[in-house]
Amino acid sequence: MNTYNIANTYIDTLGIRCECDNKKQREGLFNALIDFLLERKIVGIKYNKKRSSEYYQVTDLLYGNTKLATIAKGYYQNENNRFNPDYYYVNINLYGLKRYNKIKDDASLHLIRNITAFLNTYNINFRLIELDIAMDIQSSINKYLAVCVNRSPNIDYFQAGETNANGEKIQKEEGSYYIENYQSHKKKKNAMSRAYLYDKRRKELKKYKRDIGFELTRFEVKFQKRWFVKNEFGVIPIYKALQKYAVLEFKNSEQKKQLIEKLNSAKKGKQRRKHIDDAIKNNNAILHTQKMNNVGSFLREIDTIKFDAKGEFIFTKHENYLESMSKFNHKR
């Protein structure tokens, strides 16, 4: 039995923000992006009245009846900046980039490339505000367990496993196992990152009534706005942040149950790490870790892609790219 496995890893959600000096600049950028997307016939657009407010107006970007992304114009007053308290911005959020539906996955990639090439070509700066890293394993979720090894004292965590000592279900949604236990929407939104393990095939069936055709277990870590403010940009910092979690595969349910009991009784990260290391050493579990080449290529592409004079994409090669010079390292 192998003790380690490197699994394919993708970016499944991307959120970027363009900050604007004033309302006029924001309106100009928003309208230019919409006009560009319509002119190229990349997506359809539909104003999302339900999600919009006086301070945040959302437009859905559609491929047929499927929402690939949203583009929103926002405003709030920054009380910490007395010289320029009015803060205007445009957010672009792209969802479900790896659905295992080739037509829609290709449409999402085409949309991302066009939006970021447009921004880069016209030297419109943008920064990351959301990034979902998804590690996919083609196997049944019943064999797997995900746990946070190095826990923060300020965050509550779910117990591992299906039920607690009283026989009550730990998680509300069957087939989805959240790691962090945020008690309010505000705490969840303000977290730097959060993670969960889920049955991707089951989720696609439930949400979209579509069977991807094979068992797929996905471990997903959502990096949110505060993470990008506090951390240096790059594949290595992202990879290091992922290592506070462990995703384990078991050859039988009894070995999984035994480790769950030990992990739930452990009080410190060192104890959890030792239990995990012992399970791996004794060939009771396989540790799955992320293969980051797809993530690195994706981030390099959105950081540098441009249009040439004919409107074709220009890509920067890996050997010519320096993460330290990235626009994403310019803190605000």
Mean pLDDT, range 24-32, rounded to an integer: 98
pLDDT at 296 over 70: yes
| HSE of 102, CA atoms in CB hemisphere, 13 A | 1
Going from N- to C-terminal start, the domains of the chain cover: 4-329
Mean model confidence pLDDT for the chain: 93
Q: pLDDT grade, residue 14 (50/70/90)?
A: very high
pLDDT given at position 163? 80
Cβ 314 vs Cβ 306: under 8 Å: yes
pTM value > 0.85: yes
pLDDT at 13 over 70: yes
Please give the single-letter amino acid code of residue 316: T
Please give the single-letter amino acid code of residue 47: Y
pLDDT given at position 332? 52
User: Residue 144: which of 216, 193, 202 has the closest Cα?
Assistant: 216
pLDDT at 214 over 70: yes
pLDDT at 250 over 80: yes
Mean pLDDT, range 109-123, rounded to an integer: 98
Q: pLDDT grade, residue 77 (50/70/90)?
A: confident
Q: pLDDT grade, residue 81 (50/70/90)?
A: low
| Number of other residues whose CB lies within 10 A of the CB of residue 311 | 10
Helix-strand-coil percent breakdown of the chain, rounded to 5? 35, 30, 35
Please report, for residues 198, 202, 219, the alpha-carbon distance to residue 138 in angstroms, rounded to integers and kept in the order given: 12, 13, 12
Q: What is the DSSP string of 113-146?
A: HHHHHHHHHTT---EEEEEEEEEEESS-GGGEEE
pLDDT at 251 over 60: yes
Q: pLDDT grade, residue 1 (50/70/90)?
A: low
